[in-house]
């Protein structure tokens, strides 16, 4: 006679029914300093996330010891900011490593579902003008709607046959295309592109290009470095500046575009799961892409709450591979005309 096998709750197996409940960790029982050092964020920010994500994280379950939204968020923040499923972190909130992993998956998907709420270009005229004014105040570059660049995040090899994620340094990665404003707030984030694709190819296929080609902002543009081609809506530096105006243009372009590099460093510094110091993201490309996007959402929410705009540079091992490209001027004569007019009007 077959004996039925019971499905055991791994937390129940580890701790037993006499152990304190999964919700024994209470935010009000610890200091902000402890929360920031362990989970990366202060109490009020965590309360905000509980309100924001609570409904998504309280889905019906047959488990008698369902993990509360608050505990799930703490577990996910612990992983995002430390880059590892530490036993002591799970012990602190009373859940196992397997449950930690489930919490990260749940919170990640809840954040990804809300990505468009927190990562988007402004639409009203007053906010767009404020965006341009902020950029102009940095180095005198007019009409800038955002700065764009790509950064690589290391992931585990999907399988031996799939080499499309192998970047120029021979490492598996996702090439992430992002745009930010003058404060480092992300306006666009596409985190799913294979690491083998060069930056210009990512942009060519990106939703960002479709957005700017079909809804062209005739009175503004993005700034991109020399790994991209000049477009009517994307101003790049001059390859070989010759005149004083061209040198001034390139200097203003570089000083303004540097904001996106600082933003990448800030994100890596805050979310150590992305910086490579704890190894690669041990997930499929799709799940890794979602984790990166979830961190981008948290980055924007943290800036919205006034939390530490510029952090110290990360010390991770995963830096963006240097692109090898042939510098070519755009064949788009209208794009060349727009850049030349910009030179004559503002930098001569």
| pLDDT tens digits along 12-22 | 333 333 333 34
- Residue 146's pLDDT band, with cuts at 50, 70 and 90, is very high
Query: If residue 347 lies in a helix (H) or strand (E), which one and from where to where?
Result: none
- Reported as a pLDDT band with limits 50, 70 and 90, residue 165 is very high
Contact 346, 142 (CB under 8 A): yes
Mean pLDDT lowest for which of 112-116, 163-167, 256-260?
163-167
User: CA angle, 117 as apex, 205 and 230 as ends, to 5°?
Assistant: 30
Q: What is the mean pLDDT of residues 55-79?
A: 80
| pLDDT band (50, 70, 90) for residue 142 | very high
User: Looking up tokens 């012990």, which residue turns up?
Assistant: 91
DSSP letter at 57 equals H
What is the DSSP annotation of 222-236?
EEE-TTS--BTTEE-
**Lowest-pLDDT choice from 129-143, 177-191, 273-287:** 273-287
Say yes or no to pLDDT of 87 above 70. no
The confidence band for 111, taking pLDDT boundaries of 50, 70 and 90, is: very high
Q: Which residue has the tokens 């540097």?
A: 258
DSSP 65-104: TPPPHHHHHHHHHHHHHHSS--HHHHHHHT--HHHHHHHH
Work out the pLDDT band at 249, boundaries 50, 70, 90: very high
How does residue 27 score in pLDDT terms, banded at 50, 70 and 90? confident
Q: Report residue 58's pLDDT band, with 50, 70 and 90 as the boundaries.
A: confident
Residue 215 has what pLDDT?
75
Q: What's the whole-number mean pLDDT along residues 276-294? A: 90
Do 206 and 214 meet the contact criterion of CB atoms below 8 Å apart? Answer: no
Q: Tokens standing for 147?
A: 């700065």
Q: Are 297 and 112 contacting, i.e. CB atoms less than 8 angstroms apart?
A: yes
Q: What is the pLDDT of residue 19?
A: 36
Q: What is the pLDDT of residue 271?
A: 94
E strand segments, the chain: 144-154, 173-180, 186-194, 221-224, 234-235
- At 30 the pLDDT is 82
Q: Is the Cβ–Cβ distance between 71 and 59 less than 8 Å?
A: no
- Helices vs. strands in the chain: H and E counts, helices first: 13, 5
Q: Which pLDDT score is estimated for 217?
A: 65
The reported pLDDT for the residue numbered 18 is 35
Q: Per residue in 125-148, is it b (16+ CB within 10 Å) or e — as a string? A: eeebeebbeebbebbebbbbbbbb
Choose the weakest-confidence range: 78-92, 144-158, 216-230. 78-92
Q: Cα separation of 200 and 127, whole Å?
A: 29
Q: Which long-range contacts (CB under 8 A, 24 or more apart) does 125-130 make?
A: 128/220
Q: Is pLDDT above 80 for 310? A: no
């Amino acid at each position: 006679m077959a004996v039925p096998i019971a499905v055991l709750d791994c937390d129940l197996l580890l701790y037993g029914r006499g152990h304190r409940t999964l919700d024994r960790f209470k935010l009000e029982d610890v200091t902000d300093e402890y929360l920031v050092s362990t989970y990366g964020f202060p109490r009020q920010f965590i309360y905000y996330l509980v309100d924001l994500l609570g409904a998504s994280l309280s889905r019906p379950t047959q488990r008698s010891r369902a993990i509360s939204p608050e505990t799930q968020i703490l577990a996910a923040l612990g992983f995002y900011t430390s880059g590892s499923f530490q036993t002591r972190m799970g012990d602190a909130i009373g859940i196992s490593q397997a449950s930690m992993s489930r919490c990260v998956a749940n919170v990640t998907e809840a954040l990804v579902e809300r990505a468009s709420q927190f990562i988007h270009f402004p639409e009203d005229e007053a906010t767009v003008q404020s965006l341009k004014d902020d950029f102009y105040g940095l180095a005198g570059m007019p009409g800038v709607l955002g700065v764009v660049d790509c950064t690589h995040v290391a992931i585990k090899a999907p399988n031996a046959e799939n080499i499309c994620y192998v970047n120029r340094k021979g490492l598996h990665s996702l090439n992430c295309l992002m745009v930010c404003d003058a404060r480092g707030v992300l306006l666009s984030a596409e985190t799913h592109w294979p690491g083998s694709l060069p930056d210009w190819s990512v942009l060519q296929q990106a939703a960002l290009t479709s957005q700017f080609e079909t809804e062209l902002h005739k009175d503004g543009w993005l700034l991109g470095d020399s790994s991209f081609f000049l477009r009517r809506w994307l101003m790049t530096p001059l390859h070989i500046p010759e005149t004083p105006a061209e040198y001034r243009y390139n200097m203003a372009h570089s000083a303004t575009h540097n904001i996106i590099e600082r933003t990448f460093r800030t994100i890596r510094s805050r979310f150590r799961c992305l910086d490579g110091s704890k190894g690669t993201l041990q997930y499929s490309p799709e799940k890794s892409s979602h984790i990166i996007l979830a961190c981008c959402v948290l980055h924007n929410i943290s800036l919205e709450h006034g939390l530490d705009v510029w952090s110290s540079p990360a010390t991770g091992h995963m830096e963006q591979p240097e692109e090898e490209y042939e510098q070519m001027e755009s064949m788009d004569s209208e794009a060349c005309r727009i850049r030349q007019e910009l030179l004559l009007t503002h930098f001569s």
